[in-house]
Amino acid sequence: MSETASVPENRILQYLQDLTSAKKGLPFGQPVAVLASDTVTTTEALVKLACELGPHIAVLQVHADIIDDWSDDTIEQLTYYAKKHGFILWEGSRVLNCTVNFMGRGSADFKTRMAAADFTKRKYTHGTVKVAQWSNLATSWAPGVPLNEQEMDLLIPTLRKAAREAVATTVKTIETEISATNGEEPHYDVETPLSAPSTNGWLEFSSDNFGSALRKSSTISVTESVTLQPHVEPDEGIPPPPLLSRGLALCLPSAIDSAFTSEFRQSTVMAACANHDFVVGFHTCEPLFTSYTRDYLFDLAFQDSLGHSPQMGRDILESIPYLENKHLFALFSLVPMELLASFETDPMRSLNSGISAESETPKSVAQLFHVIDQALKVRNAHRKEQSGSPPQDSLISVGPRLFHVPLVILP
């Protein structure tokens, strides 16, 4: 871990590491990611969740496609709280590459693969949601190229270029608008705010103005408000999030009872290693935060259906030039939802979470602390069980390490 601290090649991952030590409100010091559940279908409900949980999370994953009234105003409010409370935004409803193994297939027609890459790029940068405009993280399946032929990949370089173009366009728009506001003829209209703004020019969210837009006293393009939020100061001690940084979370297929081949799983890991400046980490529905207590990426990549990493994995690794130990990747793994089931009936939950039953803590925050408390107990039990077992010679303790980020579905 200490070795990676001096290598901030991926700003999003570096920010998550910084938050872990700087943000005191994280549950038990864990860099938690929260996924807004399928019951959150309006801007009002989504912004309420961001407001309540913002001081206690590192990442907020939203599914924009199920928000009935999604708009630029939704983006504006989410970005406001991301900067104020310090967390990363992740649009999770769109898996950018739906072709899975096609993009990396050398036998496939090049023009067809290029067309598929361009289509994926449009999903990332255009449409109603415009993911690249505001979301730090996006989700994609890996291209599936052979392990030692990552240079054949068309997908990730295309998305990286699209992200850079989107950010460059955003910055140019901001500079143009700021120049216009300093001139004699600003190109936006002044609008009377809904109510008196606070001293920094923004309306704070409260139960009284629930769901209303967080507006400045004048209307500016959504680009400036989304990317810079110049009138918002982060909470004390919280580093401001890298709002202009973009990255990918690659879907990591299961090694157990999976329709995917082990080669595709390994190719996914190698794709991340070959693009560590843009790929932040991996997204999996496997409960690896509670069940996988090690932190070596290649060990996880070459696991078989029994959870072992055979000698074959070591042999393959010797021929692949991605063994730099200094790199680090986030592992966003889903915390089992059954751990939340005991929330209403656990008489010790307030004591365990450190939250007083008499306090005015929102229920969503209490649920978050309860789930992480339960997850850590399960994780520690696994560690204790494994510490008494004979060591596995097959474990691959080389290559990049993992930075565990538990993913919790709330409410």
pLDDT at 320: 66
pLDDT at 301: 79
CA distances from 124 to 139, 163, 167, 169 (A): 10, 8, 12, 14
β-strand 328-334 against 279-284: which pairing, if any? parallel
CA distances from 71 to 43, 68, 121, 220, 398 (A): 8, 9, 21, 15, 45
pLDDT at 229: 61
Over residues 196-204, mean pLDDT: 33
Over residues 213-240, mean pLDDT: 55
Q: What are φ and ψ of residue 61, in 5° steps?
A: -100, 125
Can you list the positions of beta strands (E) in 264-394? Answer: 279-284, 328-334
Q: What is the pLDDT of residues 111-160, one digit of tens each?
A: 888 888 888 999 999 988 999 999 999 999 999 888 878 888 889 999 99
DSSP 76-90: HHHHHHHHHHT-EEE
Name the residue with tokens 């705010």.
Answer: 193
Domain over 4-336+368-410 is classified CATH 3.40.50.10800: no
333 compared with 390, residue with greater pLDDT? 333
Q: 29: left (phi > 0), else alpha (psi -120 to 50), else beta?
A: left
Question: What 3-state DSSP class applies to 188?
Answer: coil
Q: What is the pLDDT of residues 318-376, one digit of tens each?
A: 666 655 656 899 999 999 999 988 887 665 554 455 554 545 889 999 999 999 999 99
pLDDT at 317: 65
pLDDT at 57: 98
On the question of pLDDT at 239 being above 90, the answer is yes
Asked whether the beta carbons of 31 and 16 are under 8 A apart, the reply is yes
Q: Average per-residue pLDDT in the chain?
A: 78
213 compared with 99, residue with greater pLDDT? 99
Indicate the pLDDT class of residue 106, thresholds 50, 70 and 90.
low
Q: What are φ and ψ of residue 101, in 5° steps?
A: -90, 0
pLDDT at 300: 80
CA distances from 392 to 254, 280, 309 (A): 21, 29, 9
On the question of pLDDT at 279 being above 90, the answer is yes
Of the listed ranges 286-290, 307-311, 325-329, the least confidently predicted one is: 307-311
Nearest residue to 25 (alpha-carbon basis) of 310, 285, 369, 273: 369
On the question of pLDDT at 384 being above 90, the answer is no
169-175: long-range contacts, CB 8 A cutoff, minimum separation 24: 170/133, 170/223, 170/226, 170/227, 170/244, 171/227, 171/244, 173/221, 173/223, 173/224, 174/223, 174/224, 174/227, 174/228
On the question of pLDDT at 223 being above 50, the answer is no
Domain boundaries, the chain: 4-336+368-410
pLDDT at 145: 87
Name the residue with tokens 């935060």.
Answer: 289
Over residues 40-48, mean pLDDT: 97
Q: What is the pLDDT of residues 158-196, one digit of tens each?
A: 999 999 998 887 776 666 655 655 554 544 332 322 333
pTM of the model: 0.81
State what percent of residues in the chain have pLDDT above 90: 44
113 compared with 14, residue with greater pLDDT? 14
On the question of pLDDT at 262 being above 70, the answer is yes
Over residues 232-239, mean pLDDT: 89
pLDDT at 191: 30
Indicate the pLDDT class of residue 304, thresholds 50, 70 and 90.
low
